[in-house]
């Protein structure tokens, strides 16, 4: 893989500085009439550097790997070399560097721990999670890198969806440091609850939800799962109340709660559905606009309450308002038929676009995720605010 100019400059600066500093120290301590070793090493360093500058990383790698066996003072430079290979995506070369360091019998304890951690990072980057896990488990037992090792173990267990191991690792991490995502432990229990609910184990699912509530009070995801369990057990009124509670805690979950409420109301007459949504249709135009948009995103554009709230959505969204004004007149005076047709058209548009977006990294998707597939943040996915005609252009 050819290196870009900034990478080459960085590599060159690193090795020139490392070589100069090392050789200066060696010259002062070892120079003498019977010891030509510094000159030999100087030649090897600059030979390896020349291969890097000529974009021949394999030849450079062979030179620097041979030099690890020459003297213990070269180890730090090789750590830097391995890390540079990993950052450039050349993980196999990084693994070779760090495995070569690990194989040295005279390695100090500090350098061995450093090499184990660097090799674990290499394996993780390469997707070799079983190898990375073994190294990080050893490091997590103690030492100067146990916190970073526990964070990597969490990432491994999350990607493998091994939620029970993730819970154990999270507990160890909390005992020594602050977790990167405080709500992660509640999500682990919710993931287990979802698995148990899918198997029909409602008792086990409720137990996991109790653990989630103990870890994170007023956790909206837990309320939505309890609503799903209530629906499975034919308790529609409880399910609707739980959904309403979840939206009160986190209004951005409206798009997820509405389909559950409609499922709970299935079989009831239109008057009862309208009564239920009167509690959601507050006088605030902004809230009514958000309700209409969330319902359209959720595929409920044909519901009567959407037609009632749609004029508020058109007034709150300048782009939509201008389009409707140019084609159909004042948005406040649209007929019921026009509102239905417009809601249907918006539904078709939104189903072809990225309706949810991570507020941390900008990753966009048509589906909702509790954990962003891009940056792995929890609780970062939210519906795109009103209608975004170019959602892929967004960056925080």
* Paired sense of beta strands 356-358 and 381-383, if any: antiparallel
Q: In this structure, what token pair is assigned to residue 281? A: 């249709």
Dist. CA 124–CA 372, nearest whole Å: 19
* Residues 113 and 144: beta-carbon distance below 8 Å: yes
Dist. CA 140–CA 160, nearest whole Å: 19
Which residues pair with residue 378 across a beta bridge?
Answer: 371
Task: Please identify every stretch of the chain with a pLDDT value under 50, giving residue numbers as ranges.
Answer: 1-3, 5-6, 8-10, 12-13, 16-17, 19-36, 39, 70-71, 389-396
The pLDDT, as a whole number, for residue 223 is 93
Q: In this structure, what token pair is assigned to residue 381? A: 């996915």
The pLDDT, as a whole number, for residue 16 is 45
DSSP state of 347: H
- Please work out, in degrees rounded to the nearest 5, the angle formed at the alpha carbon of residue 161 by the alpha carbons of 155 and 165: 70
Q: For residue 311, is it left (φ>0), alpha (ψ between -120 and 50) or beta?
A: alpha
The pLDDT, as a whole number, for residue 212 is 96
Dist. CA 314–CA 139, nearest whole Å: 57
Q: Which of 84, 114, 120 is nearest to 101 (CA)?
A: 114
The pLDDT, as a whole number, for residue 158 is 96
Q: Binding site: which residues?
A: 358, 361, 372, 375
Burial class from Cβ neighbours inside 10 Å (0-12, 13-18, 19+) for residue 354 reads: middle
Dist. CA 144–CA 368, nearest whole Å: 38
Would you say the C-alpha torsion 108, 109, 114, 116 has a positive or negative sign? positive
Dist. CA 156–CA 161, nearest whole Å: 8
Q: Does an H or E element contain 365, and which?
A: strand 364-365
Q: Is 381 helix (H, G, I), strand (E, B) or coil?
A: strand
Q: Binding site for Fe cation: which residues?
A: 358, 361, 372, 375
The pLDDT, as a whole number, for residue 233 is 94
Crossing angle for the helix pair 163-176 and 184-198, to the nearest 10 degrees:
160
């Amino acid at each position: 893989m050819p290196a870009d100019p900034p990478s080459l400059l960085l590599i060159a600066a690193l090795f020139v500085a490392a070589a100069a500093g090392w050789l200066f120290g060696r010259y002062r301590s070892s120079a003498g009439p019977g010891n030509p070793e510094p000159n030999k090493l100087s030649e090897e360093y600059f030979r390896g550097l020349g291969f890097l500058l000529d974009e021949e990383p394999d030849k450079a790698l062979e030179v620097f790997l041979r030099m690890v066996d020459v003297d213990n003072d070269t180890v730090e430079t090789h750590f830097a070399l391995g890390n540079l290979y990993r950052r450039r995506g050349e993980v196999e070369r990084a693994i070779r560097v760090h495995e070569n360091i690990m194989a040295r019998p005279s390695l100090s304890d500090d350098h061995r721990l450093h090499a184990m951690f660097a090799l674990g990072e290499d394996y993780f980057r390469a997707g070799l999670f079983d190898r990375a896990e073994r190294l990080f488990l050893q490091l997590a037992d103690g030492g100067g890198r146990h916190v970073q090792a526990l964070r990597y173990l969490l990432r491994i267990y999350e990607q493998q969806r091994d939620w029970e191991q993730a819970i154990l690792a999270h507990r160890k991490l909390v005992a020594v440091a602050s977790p990167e995502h405080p709500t992660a432990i509640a999500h682990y229990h919710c993931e287990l609850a979802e698995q148990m609910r899918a198997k029909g184990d409602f008792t086990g699912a409720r137990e996991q939800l109790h653990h989630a509530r103990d870890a994170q009070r007023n956790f909206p995801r837990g309320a939505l799962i309890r609503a799903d369990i209530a629906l499975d057990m034919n308790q529609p009124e409880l399910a609707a109340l739980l959904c309403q509670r979840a939206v009160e805690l986190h209004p951005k979950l409206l798009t997820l709660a509405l389909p559950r409420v409609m499922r709970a109301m299935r079989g009831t007459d239109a008057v009862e559905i309208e009564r239920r949504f009167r509690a959601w249709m507050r006088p605030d135009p902004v809230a009514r606009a958000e309700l209409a948009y969330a319902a359209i995103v959720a595929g409920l554009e044909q519901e009567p309450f959407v037609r009632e709230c749609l004029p508020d959505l058109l007034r709150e969204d300048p782009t939509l308002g201008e389009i409707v004004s140019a084609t159909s007149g004042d948005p406040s005076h649209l007929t019921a038929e026009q509102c239905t047709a417009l809601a249907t058209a918006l539904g078709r548009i939104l189903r072809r676009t990225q309706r949810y977006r991570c507020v941390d990294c900008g990753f966009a998707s048509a589906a909702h995720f509790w954990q962003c597939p891009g940056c792995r943040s929890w609780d970062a996915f939210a519906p795109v605010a009103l209608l975004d005609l170019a959602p892929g252009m967004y960056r925080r």
